[in-house]
């Protein structure tokens, strides 16, 4: 198999709409791995796909806008890879490399952040005070429609339980903050997601991972007074 055929095969997988041309008839059909039907579950950060018989999967790659390529090796016959939590609002691309006699064939999945640019909540930040309270605030996206409504979900890293903000702070009806008076169940690092709705347009989500440990408020220190605030920014 020459490099030309390999290249064409590669392109076809990335663009299934491409018509079959003469060259492809060289490719043995038994080697052909049709769409793996890749799926990504944000809550578990698990990338999975349909297992195909007699196929080995060499590598999973998450291509992250800021962090670059994060590689995982699926175990022998596993048809999934677990990634650790990362912000996804910049959009990420997943690649699974399938082995074949032609060498690794990549198949990809784009996990997008659909909606208008600038519609997502911005300037998200949280702070803990009086040990057990936490306030988070954000602002309406600069391009968000008037009727936008935002919702905050917090997911801990241990139980992976997702809970919605129990008490929103509103500005002219729009949720622009959240007050929590019970931080039990949260872990040192937690995943924060602000998504939104509007009748006019799709609203992009904002997500971030914030560490409660870093700000130290969960642990009373000898010098700490009752009221102390620290700010963590997304």
Ligand X SMILES: *[C@@H]1O[C@H](CO)[C@@H](O)[C@H](O)[C@H]1NC(C)=O
CA 93: distance to chain centroid? 10
CA 104 – CA 109 distance, rounded (Å) = 16
Number of H helices, E strands in the chain: 2, 16
* Region of 118 on the Ramachandran plot (φ > 0 left; ψ -120 to 50 alpha; else beta): left
Task: Tell me if 111 contacts ligand X by CB under 6 A.
Answer: no
Which H or E run contains 163? strand 162-164
* DSSP β-ladder status, 189-197 and 149-156: antiparallel
Interface with ligand X (CB under 6 A), residue from 132, 197, 224, 233: 197
Interface with ligand X (CB under 6 A), residue from 46, 50, 147, 200: 46
Interface with ligand X (CB under 6 A), residue from 55, 99, 198, 201: 99
Question: What is the closest distance, in whole angstroms, from the C-beta atom of residue 232 to ligand X in the complex?
Answer: 14
Size of interface with ligand X, in residues (CB under 6 A): 22
Q: Which residue has the tokens 């008076």?
A: 181
Interface with ligand X (CB under 6 A), residue from 59, 129, 157, 183: 129
Interface with ligand X (CB under 6 A), residue from 7, 35, 37, 44: 44
How many residues are given for the chain?
Answer: 234
**Which residues of this chain interact with ligand X, rule CB under 6 A?**
44, 46, 53-54, 56, 58, 82, 99, 101, 122-123, 129, 135, 139, 151, 153, 162, 169, 179, 193, 195, 197
């Amino acid at each position: 198999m020459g490099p030309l055929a390999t290249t064409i095969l590669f392109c076809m997988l990335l663009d299934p709409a491409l018509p079959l041309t003469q060259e492809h008839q060289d490719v043995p059909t038994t080697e052909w791995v049709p769409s793996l039907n890749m799926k990504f579950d944000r809550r578990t950060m698990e990338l999975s796909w349909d297992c195909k018989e007699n196929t080995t999967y060499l590598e999973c790659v998450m291509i992250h806008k800021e962090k670059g390529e994060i590689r995982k090796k699926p175990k022998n016959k596993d048809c999934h890879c677990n990634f650790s939590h990362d912000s996804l609002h910049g959009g990420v691309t997943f690649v699974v490399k399938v082995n074949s006699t032609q060498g690794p064939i990549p198949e990809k999945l784009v996990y997008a952040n659909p909606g208008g640019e600038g519609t997502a909540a911005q300037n998200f930040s949280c702070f803990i005070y009086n040990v057990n309270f936490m306030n988070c605030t954000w602002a309406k996206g600069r391009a968000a429609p008037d009727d936008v409504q935002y919702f905050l979900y917090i997911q801990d890293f241990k139980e992976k339980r997702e809970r919605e903000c129990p008490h929103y702070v509103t500005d002219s009806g729009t949720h622009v903050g959240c007050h929590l008076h019970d931080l039990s169940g949260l872990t040192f690092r937690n995943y924060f997601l602000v998504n939104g709705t509007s009748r006019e347009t799709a609203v992009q989500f904002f997500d971030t991972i914030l560490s409660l440990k870093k700000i130290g408020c969960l642990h009373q220190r000898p010098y700490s007074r009752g009221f102390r605030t620290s700010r963590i920014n997304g």
